[in-house]
Chain A
Amino acid sequence: MEKGEEIKMLLLTGTLPIEEKSLLVDKIKFDGKTLYIGDKMFGYDMISIGATAMMAAAATTCEALQLEPPMAAVAGDLGQGDGSTLLYTYLTEDASSTGASTITMHYILPIRRGFMEFIEMLDYWEKRPFMIADAGSMLIAKATGSCRKFDLFTPDAGEICFLADPEAGHPAYVKSLFFAIDTTDVPYLIQEAYKYNNAPRYLLVKGPTDFIVDEGKIIHTVSEPNIPVLEPIGGTGDTITGILSALIGGGYEPIKACLIAAKANRLAGQLANPTPATRVVEIINHIGRAVKEVLDIL
Chain B
Amino acid sequence: MQAEHTLRKAGFSIRTGAPPPEVRTGCDLAISVPSQDVNAAEKILKENDIPILDVVFTFEEELPPLQLSQLVKKVDFGNYLMIRVGNMKLTFEKKGGIIVNISGGGCPDIPLLGLKMVGKPLDKAPQPNEVGYTLCAYTLQKAYEHAVEAWKKVRK
Q: Do A and B bind each other?
A: yes
Contact across chains for A79 and B132 when beta carbons are under 8 A apart: yes
Say whether A156 faces chain B, with CB atoms less than 8 Å apart: yes
Contact across chains for A48 and B111 when beta carbons are under 8 A apart: yes
Contact across chains for B101 and A232 when beta carbons are under 8 A apart: yes
Contact across chains for A52 and B66 when beta carbons are under 8 A apart: no
Contact across chains for A162 and B87 when beta carbons are under 8 A apart: yes
Contact across chains for A15 and B108 when beta carbons are under 8 A apart: yes
Instruction: Tell me how far the C-beta of A27 lies from the nearest C-beta in chain B, rounded to whole angstroms.
Output: 21
Stretch at the interface among B3-11, B36-44, B133-141, B148-156: B133-141
Chain B, range 107-141, C-beta contacts under 8 Å to A: 107-112, 114-115, 118, 131-139
Contact across chains for B108 and A158 when beta carbons are under 8 A apart: no
Contact across chains for B89 and A17 when beta carbons are under 8 A apart: no
1/0 contact trace for A151-189 toward B, CB 8 Å?
000001011001000010111111010010000000000
Instruction: Tell me how far the C-beta of A107 lies from the nearest C-beta in chain B, rounded to whole angstroms.
Output: 6
Contact across chains for B84 and A158 when beta carbons are under 8 A apart: yes
Complex Cα distance, B101 from A236, in Å, reads 11
Contact across chains for A107 and B101 when beta carbons are under 8 A apart: no
If over half of B's interface residues share one DSSP class (helix, strand or loop), that class is named, otherwise mixed; here it is mixed
Contact across chains for A276 and B27 when beta carbons are under 8 A apart: no
Task: Give chain A's interface residue range (CB within 8 Å of chain B).
Answer: 35 or more
Complex Cα distance, B135 from A45, in Å, reads 25
Say whether B97 faces chain A, with CB atoms less than 8 Å apart: no
Q: Most chain-A Cβ atoms within 10 A of its Cβ — which of B80, B103, B110, B136?
A: B103
Stretch at the interface among A118-126, A139-147, A264-272: A139-147
Instruction: Tell me how far the C-beta of A110 lies from the nearest C-beta in chain B, rounded to whole angstroms.
Output: 4
Stretch at the interface among A30-38, A92-100, A130-138, A290-298: A130-138
How many of B's residues come within 8 Å of A, CB to CB?
51
Residue of chain A at shortest CB distance from B65: A173
On whether A111 and B66 interact (CB within 8 A), knowing A49-B103, A79-B108, the answer reads no
Interface residues of B (CB under 8 A from A): 18-19, 21, 23-28, 64, 66-68, 70-71, 75, 77, 80, 82, 84, 86-89, 91, 93, 100-112, 114-115, 118, 131-139
- Pick 7 A–B contacts, CB within 8 A, sort by A: A15-B111, A79-B133, A138-B106, A143-B24, A173-B64, A234-B118, A237-B103
Other A-B pairs beyond A139-B26, A169-B18, 19, CB < 8 Å? A49-B103, A50-B114, A79-B112, A79-B134, A79-B137, A109-B27, A110-B28, A135-B106, A136-B27, A139-B106, A140-B26, A162-B87, A170-B135, A171-B86, A171-B87, A173-B18, A176-B71, A232-B101, A234-B89
